[in-house]
Amino acid sequence: MGSGDILTPLIMGILLGGLYALIALGLSLVFGVMRLINLAHGDLVILGSYGAFGLMSHLNMDPVLSLVICIPCMFALGFVIQKYLMSRAFAISAEAPLIIAFGIALIIQNTNQILWTPLSRGLNTSYSMTSFSLGKLQFPISYLLDFVAGIVIMILLREFLSRTYLGRAIAAASQDRRAALLMGINTNRIYGYAFAVAMVSAAVAGVFLGMTFPFTPTSGISLLTIAFGTVIIGGLGSMLGTFIGGVTLGVVQTIGGYFFGPATQMLIVYVIILVILAVRPQGLFGR
């Protein structure tokens, strides 16, 4: 930067926004369907990163390829968390699931500390370190992969929710739980699937995050902040809104950094989030 060329931070921000959206999609889905703010979401993303890291360091498996193993595991984990922890917590009170989510976050953080030590790790592959050029400008290829993955997962989730029986049932249960029950939808099972699908997106986010940035067992906390920012900007529950929210956040961050220096770029993001919360609390694209 410093060359006076604003195009570089703009494109970096858009590409980075794809990763932010990818991280936030699962949070948005779980909130949209069961009105649960999943405080463990960031740590579940990092769990996905470590899953890929483990497979890479022990079996020399490519991180993207390792999703073949990580996705089913995270799907199952999500279903179990919802069915055996969250659904019981929901029966107690509205706050109980929040506490459970917080507990899950702590367990994942500490398990990762024990298994992987607090050292910073990364999913470095031969291709993730390379760059591509757009005209005269150069960008890391990992940013492009993030953006593509964000778009693909967003579209897949949208299609799933609007075109399959299961997805429609999830959408119906989120719009009116009582009416969904009366239409013969087993909402407890549906919530399990919704949580499981959110965990699949977390697994994908974990892999692409790990190929872009180094991570530690406590990185989940800052990811949760980013995910919150994304859904606050985009509006909770809408997949397309979440994606646009991610891109907006990414662009605000990089353009802010361009004008005011990298030290203040996150500050500018938080200011924008506060402004949106004050002016349009349902998000730019929320209902």
Partner 1 sequence: MSLKQILTVNHIDVFHGTFQALWDVSLQVREGEMLALIGANTSGKSTLLDTISGLLHPASGRIEFDEREITRLDPYQIVEMGVTQVPEGRRIFPDISVFDNLLIGSYNRKAREKKKENLKKVYDHFPILRERRKQIAKTLSGGEQQMLVIARGLMADPKLMLIDEMSLGLAPIIINELFRALKEIRERGITILFVEQNVRRTLQEADRAYILETGRVVLSGTSSDLQEEDQVKKAYFGI
CB of 12 to partner 1, least distance (A): 34
CB of 41 to partner 1, least distance (A): 24
Q: Which is nearer to partner 1, 197 or 269 (CB)?
A: 197
Q: Which is nearer to partner 1, 70 or 197 (CB)?
A: 197
Torsion of CA 187, 92, 79, 59, to 10 degrees: 170
CB of 177 to partner 1, least distance (A): 10
CB of 46 to partner 1, least distance (A): 33
CB of 83 to partner 1, least distance (A): 15
Q: Which is nearer to partner 1, 201 or 238 (CB)?
A: 238
Q: Which is nearer to partner 1, 10 or 181 (CB)?
A: 181
Q: Which is nearer to partner 1, 5 or 176 (CB)?
A: 176
Rounded CA separation 2/212 (Å) = 23
- Per DSSP, the three-state class of 181 is helix
Residue type, 24: A
Rounded CA separation 193/195 (Å) = 5
CB of 175 to partner 1, least distance (A): 5
The secondary structure of 39-107 as a DSSP string is TTHHHHHHHHHHHHHHHHHHH---TTTTHHHHHHHHHHHHHHIIIIIIHHHHHH-SSHHHHHHHHHHHH
Residues that bind partner 1 (CB under 8 A): 162, 165, 168-169, 171-172, 175-176, 178-186, 287
CA 240-243-244 angle, to 5 degrees, is: 90
Side-chain half-sphere exposure of 229, counting CA atoms within 13 A? 27
Q: Which is nearer to partner 1, 169 or 249 (CB)?
A: 169
